[in-house]
Chain A
Amino acid sequence: MLEIKNLTKSYGEVLALDRFSLDLGKGEVLGLLGPNGAGKTTLISILAGTLRDFTGTVSFLGRDLFSDRGLKNRLGVVPQDMAFYEELNAMDNLLFWGGLYDVPRADLKRRARELLDLVGLSGRAEEPVKRFSGGMKRRLNTAIGLLHRPDLLLLDEPTVGIDVQAKVSILEIIRNVGAAGTAVIFTTHQLAEAETTCSRIAIMDRGRILAQGTLDELVRIVGERDIVEIVGEFAAAPFSEALQDLAGNGVELLSVADGLASLAVADTEQIPRVMDRLFRHKLAVADMKIKTPSLETVFLKLTGRSLRD
Chain B
Amino acid sequence: MRRLFLILGNDVRRHLKAPLVVAIFIVIPLAMTGLIGVVFGPRTEGSQLPPIAVLLVDHDKNLVSKFLLGAFDVDQMKKMFQVTVTDEPEGRKRMEAGKASAMVVIPERFTLDLLEAKPTTLLVVKNPAEQFLPDVVEEFMNTLAVILSGAIQAFAEEARGIRAMIDSPLASISWEALGPELGKAQKKMTSAEKYLNPLLIRLREEETQAAGARTRFTQADLFSIILPGMAIMFLLFIVQTLMRDILSERDDGKLRRMLTTPLRPLELIGARLLGGWVMGVAVLLVMVGVGTLIFRVTWGPFGYFLILGGTASFWTAAFFALFYALVRNRNQAGALGAPIILAFSLFGGSMMNPEAMPKAFRAVGILTPNRWFIDGAAAVRDGRFPLASLVILAGTGLILLALAVPALGRRTSV
* A residues neighboring B (CB under 8 Å): 45, 48-52, 69-70, 72-73, 75, 77, 79-85, 87-88, 92, 96-97, 99-102, 128, 144
Contacts and interface: CB of A to CB of B under 8 A. Distances in A.
Most chain B beta-carbon contacts within 10 A, residue among A45, A48, A82, A83: A83
A88 B7 CA distance: 13
Contacts of B257: 77, 79, 81, 83-84, 97, 144
Given A52-B413, A100-B3, A77 B13 contact: no
B253 A83 contact: yes
A49 B259 contact: yes
B254 interface: yes
Contacts of A85: 10, 14, 254
A50 B260 contact: yes
Given A50-B414, A52-B413, A87-B17, A101 B256 contact: no
A52 B258 CA distance: 16
B262 interface: yes
Nearest to B9: A96
Contacts of B3: 99-100
A101 B10 contact: no
Contact of B259 (A50, A80, A128): A50
Contact of A69 (B6, B254, B262): B262
Interface in B288-318: none
Nearest to A84: B254
Contacts of B252: 81-83
Nearest to A81: B253
Interface of B is mostly: helix
6 contacts: A48-B260, A49-B260, A79-B260, A85-B10, A85-B14, A87-B18
Given A81-B256, A99-B6, 20 more contacts: A49-B260, A50-B259, A50-B260, A81-B253, A82-B252, A82-B253, A83-B252, A83-B253, A84-B254, A87-B18, A88-B13, A88-B17, A92-B13, A96-B10, A100-B6, A100-B261, A101-B261, A101-B262, A128-B17, A144-B257
A74 to B, nearest CB: 10
B271 to A, nearest CB: 11
Nearest to A48: B260
B253 A102 contact: no
Contacts of A50: 256, 259-260, 414
Contact of A72 (B6, B253, B260): B260
B256 A79 contact: yes
Contacts of B253: 79-83
Interface size class of B (residues with CB under 8 A): 20 to 34
B123 interface: no
Interface in B12-28: 13-14, 17-18
A87 B262 contact: no
Contacts of A84: 254, 257
A100 B262 contact: yes
Most chain A beta-carbon contacts within 10 A, residue among B14, B262, B263: B262
Contact of A52 (B10, B18, B256, B414): B414
Contacts of B262: 69-70, 72-73, 100-102
Contacts of A101: 261-262
Nearest to B253: A81
B214 to A, nearest CB: 47
B9 to A, nearest CB: 9
A228 B128 CA distance: 95
A100 B263 contact: yes
A53 B19 CA distance: 41
Nearest to B414: A50
Contacts of A45: 256, 414
Nearest to B16: A87
A155 to B, nearest CB: 12
A173 B14 CA distance: 29
A83 B254 contact: yes
B256 A87 contact: no
Nearest to A78: B257
Nearest to A75: B260
Nearest to A80: B253
A92 B253 CA distance: 18
B14 A88 contact: yes
A72 B265 CA distance: 14
Contacts of B260: 48-50, 72, 75, 77, 79
A100 B265 CA distance: 12
Contacts of A100: 3, 6, 258, 261-263
A77 B260 CA distance: 7
Interface string B249-291: 0001110111111110000000000000000000000000000
Contacts of A51: 414
A105 to B, nearest CB: 10
A72 B414 contact: no
Contacts of B13: 88, 92
Contacts of A52: 413-414
A77 B255 CA distance: 13
Contacts of A49: 259-260, 414
B14 A83 contact: no
A183 B6 CA distance: 29
Nearest to B18: A87
Nearest to A141: B257
Nearest to B259: A50
B93 to A, nearest CB: 65
Contacts of B14: 85, 87-88
A70 B261 CA distance: 10
A100 B257 CA distance: 10
Interface string B232-263: 00000000000000000000111011111111
A114 B255 CA distance: 26
Interface string B381-414: 0000000000000000000000000000000011
Contact of B261 (A72, A81, A88): A72
Contacts of A48: 256, 260
A135 B201 CA distance: 90
A73 B414 CA distance: 19
A92 B261 CA distance: 17
A87 B12 CA distance: 12
Interface in B202-253: 252-253
A79 B249 CA distance: 14
Contacts of B6: 96, 99-100
